[in-house]
Amino acid sequence: MQPLRGTRDILPNEMQSWQYIHNIANKILNQNNYKEVQTPIIENTELFTRSIGNFTDIVNKEMYSFCDQSNRNITLRPEGTASIARAIISNKLYVDSQISRLWYMGPMFRYERPQKGRQRQFHQLGIECIGSFNPIADVEVIKLAIQVLSKLGCISEYELDINCIGNIEERELYKVQLVEYLHKYKDELDNDSKTRLNKNPLRILDSKNTKTQEILQTGPILKNYLNKASLDHFNQVCEHLEYLQISYNINNYLVRGLDYYNYTAFEIKTKTINNQNTVCGGGRYDRLIEQLGGPNIPAVGWAIGIERILILANNYLKTQAQVTNTSIYVAVRNDNYHNSYMVWDILNILEEYNIKFELDLSNSNLSRQIKKASRLKATICLILGENENYNKFVTIKWLNTGMQQQIHFVELKEYMKYIKKTIIT
């Protein structure tokens, strides 16, 4: 049996890196008063069609949607922001505080062609700062993205692309001009862009096709259709970034693949992974909550792709997240005549002193169990054989020297306390 295409198991040796990422995020974000949330993995399909937009790639061809037993249209979430916006509304989170700072980490689902850094079930770490129009909020989230990425060891060669995509009215105005311009070159556009010309022309700006890019170079630029409020907001964001010495490129062609963004849009790319080099995408979404039936609340946020981080910084994360070996291996013989109940008392002591242990379950002869302990690079093997059981003592074997000593069970607790303090820290 194989897992579904585009999905994979995360095995125990990788889990340490995942936990490390979660811990780092928790530390940095918690300090900045972001609170972790979890929303359901399944939502009404309507949530995504109404927020991400009908003509986006995600809604158009990438969603995992199905009808449940009661004929509800359900979708496995393709991203986190729509769900968070829904949660803000469902739980009236805006009532008690003006600003909600939230973060999440969890699986997302998109039906895409699987390749390196692109899966059908993938994971995102994301933050949302909800309730502020202030350009400082945009800068706060961008700064946090950079902080998280650098703490995860993957920011040495990054590029922050940023653009102002204005509001809906400004974009509508621009769209008309763009479509009119591109119509003149219709036959030279790549196929995707041709279809987008009628449905979602702004996405053409994002085309990777060189001919299309060439055509765009002499076309209208969104920036020229923005009013003062949009430009001022953007300039402030840029000035604060400069103050923070966060380097950025203004990319006039940056548009995100989700319709809900306005004003600031940004992406963090690395120069290392070839095609799938975007590790973080985000922006402002001031209309989304209202669009979904909630009050008019502005917001800004981003999402980082965890799998892409793991590709970039796998080795770094592995060394950072390295877990200590088992400290104590417990070798024990158990048979019909000699039930070694004492083993439970030993484990209780180890647990009490927070010592990491592994209990041998093979019931093979003791020398074989001791060999296993050495192979696992344990510090000590605690031996509980027939003789020990009968006489209520434990043999302690120091695996690096081979030295052995016997400790009476009543003294074991004190001894373990000493060991925990001096040797196994």
Q: Which residues bind ligand ATP (CB under 6 A)?
A: 79, 110, 112, 117-119, 122, 124, 257, 276, 278-281, 303, 305, 307-308
Q: Is residue 115 marked as binding?
A: no
Rounded least distance, CB 79 to ligand ATP, Å: 5
Q: Which helix (H) or strand (E) holds 83?
A: helix 81-90
Burial 2-28 (b: 16+ CB within 10 A, else e): eeeebeeeeeeebeebbebbeebbeeb
Q: State which residue, 117 or 131, has the beta carbon closest to ligand ATP.
A: 117
Q: Is residue 110 marked as binding?
A: yes
Q: State which residue, 118 or 194, has the beta carbon closest to ligand ATP.
A: 118
Q: State which residue, 140 or 307, has the beta carbon closest to ligand ATP.
A: 307
Q: How far apart are CA 90 and CA 293, in angstroms?
A: 10
Rounded least distance, CB 275 to ligand ATP, Å: 8
Rounded least distance, CB 90 to ligand ATP, Å: 23
Q: Is residue 358 marked as binding?
A: no
Rounded least distance, CB 303 to ligand ATP, Å: 4
Q: State which residue, 276 or 326, has the beta carbon closest to ligand ATP.
A: 276
Beta bridge partners of 122: 108
Which residue's Cβ has the minimum distance to ligand ATP?
A: 305
Q: State which residue, 281 or 298, has the beta carbon closest to ligand ATP.
A: 281
Going by their DSSP bridges, the two strands 404-408 and 393-398 should be labelled as antiparallel
Q: State which residue, 140 or 206, has the beta carbon closest to ligand ATP.
A: 206
Q: State which residue, 9 or 96, has the beta carbon closest to ligand ATP.
A: 9
The secondary structure of residue 421, as a DSSP letter, is H
Burial 118-156 (b: 16+ CB within 10 A, else e): bbbbbbbbbbbbbbbbebebbbbbbbbbbbbbebbbbbe
Q: Residue type at 11? A: L
Q: Is residue 260 marked as binding?
A: yes
Place of tokens 């009808």: 67
Rounded least distance, CB 121 to ligand ATP, Å: 8
Q: Is residue 81 marked as binding?
A: yes
Rounded least distance, CB 173 to ligand ATP, Å: 25
Q: Is residue 256 marked as binding?
A: yes
Going by their DSSP bridges, the two strands 278-284 and 393-398 should be labelled as unpaired
Rounded least distance, CB 207 to ligand ATP, Å: 12
Rounded least distance, CB 169 to ligand ATP, Å: 24
Longest dimension (CA), the chain: 95
Q: Residue type at 79? A: E
Q: State which residue, 110 or 171, has the beta carbon closest to ligand ATP.
A: 110
Please, are residues 159 and 186 in contact by the beta-carbon 8 Å criterion? no
Rounded least distance, CB 248 to ligand ATP, Å: 16
Please, are residues 300 and 141 in contact by the beta-carbon 8 Å criterion? yes
Q: DSSP per residue over 7-76, as a string? A: -----HHHHHHHHHHHHHHHHHHHHTT-EE----SEEEHHHHHHHH-TTSHIIIII-EEEE-TT--EEEE
Q: Is residue 64 marked as binding?
A: no
Q: How far apart are CA 422 and CA 185, in angstroms?
A: 76
Beta bridge partners of 102: 35, 128
Q: Is residue 242 marked as binding?
A: no
Q: State which residue, 275 or 325, has the beta carbon closest to ligand ATP.
A: 275
Q: Is residue 181 marked as binding?
A: no
CA of residue 341 relative to chain centroid, distance: 44
Known binding-site residue numbers: 79-81, 110, 124, 128, 256, 260-261
Binding-site sequence positions for L-histidine = 79-81, 110, 124, 128, 256, 260-261
